Amino acid sequence: MPENENIKRLLTAISVNNDQAAYRELFILLHARLKQFAYSILKSGEEAEELVSDVFIRIWQKREQLENINSPLLYFYTTTKNLALNQLSKQKRQVNLSPEEWLVQVNSLYFDPEQLMLTEEMFRQVKKAVNDLPPRCRLIFKLVKEDGLRYKEVAELLQLSVKTIEAQMAIALRRIGKCMHFELKTAIPARAQTILKK
């Protein structure tokens, strides 16, 4: 994924050259996503803002070790998650908060009436369907679609299997399809199945 490559390039500049311009670029790139993610756990905008700042302080302080991270996006999300959960437990709020209880909001559903053959009503249904997704499903959907994490990264972050991620994404998509009256009523020929079984 080209974004991980871009992030790795910035991390190298920060790690090797103390490049402040690269650090700033990284911050601007990740800030909104990480803040939303922190918010979903902390449920306070102000605390989320501070937490992301803490994450970036860590990034600066540990910059020499940042050069060779394989999945930088996963690293940032995991750090954010851990710091947020730690904070909750230090403040004795909601100990053992599970991902199901994270407050997830999906923001990037838009449509251009010129491009899509959807009515506004249909689209409203789509948005509603996504917001009505079971919490874990919605979280996974957001992390993949909006935040750009790979299935493997989401699995690692939430301590789930990749198969679970696949299944949840399928559920989300099917529900969206239903709003557009796209439901599979007929079974699909079995010959396709043998190729898939590996």
Residues that bind other proteins (CB under 8 A): 1, 16-21, 24, 27-28, 31-32, 35, 45-46, 49-50, 52-54, 56-58, 60-61, 108-112, 115-118, 126, 144-146, 150-151, 166-167, 169-174, 176-177, 180-182, 184, 187-190, 192-193, 195-196, 198
20 vs 98, beta carbon nearer other proteins: 20
As measured in angstroms, the least distance from the Cβ of 170 to other proteins is 4
Residues 37 and 119: their CA atoms lie apart, in Å, by 31
As measured in angstroms, the least distance from the Cβ of 37 to other proteins is 15
SS3 142: helix
45 vs 134, beta carbon nearer other proteins: 45
Q: Where are the beta strands (DSSP E) in 18-151?
A: none
Q: Please choose, from the candidates 53, 33, 35, 71, the residue with its C-alpha nearest in 3D space to the C-alpha of residue 151.
A: 71
User: Phi first, then psi: what are they for 143, rounded to 5°?
Assistant: -60, -35
Residues 10 and 21: their CA atoms lie apart, in Å, by 9
As measured in angstroms, the least distance from the Cβ of 136 to other proteins is 15
95 vs 117, beta carbon nearer other proteins: 117
How far apart, in Å, are the Cα atoms of 127 and each of 106, 136, 175? 9, 17, 10
95 vs 190, beta carbon nearer other proteins: 190
